Amino acid sequence: MWYWILHVMGADNLSGPWYGFWSGFGSDLGEIAIIGGLISIYRRHNCHVKGCWRIGKHPVAGTTYVVCRQHHPDAAPTHQEVLAAHRAAKVRDA
Ligand SMILES: [Zn+2]
């Protein structure tokens, strides 16, 4: 009787194991693609300095290199320097 109920519900359907196999296989491929995608995104955005794992956000003037704060040739500007550069740009444009 119990077997008959399972049979009607499709639990012992022959396509069941295969469906499980393919969906498991597919999700593994999906995970590999996601991890591979994350690695390629990371490799595109990390510092260009060899062996540096930090995220590179700072383009080096005159080059195509993008490096992290640690490897950038210029020191971080102070607030005063940012304001001075802003005022100088406004004067230059006027
Ligand atoms: Zn770096």
| Confidence (pLDDT) at 16 | 57
Q: How far is the CA of 54 from the centre of ligand 1 (A)?
A: 6
Q: How far is the CA of 43 from the centre of ligand 1 (A)?
A: 12
Q: How far is the CA of 83 from the centre of ligand 1 (A)?
A: 27
| Confidence (pLDDT) at 90 | 93
Q: How far is the CA of 16 from the centre of ligand 1 (A)?
A: 51
> Shortest CA distance to 45 belongs to which of 69, 24, 67, 15?
67
Q: How far is the CA of 48 from the centre of ligand 1 (A)?
A: 7
pLDDT in tens, 14-64: 555 556 555 665 667 777 888 888 888 877 788 999 999 999 988 888 999
pTM of the model: 0.45
- 49 CB burial (10 A radius; 0-12, 13-18, 19+): middle
* C-alpha count within 13 angstroms, C-beta hemisphere, residue 73: 7
Q: How far is the CA of 63 from the centre of ligand 1 (A)?
A: 15
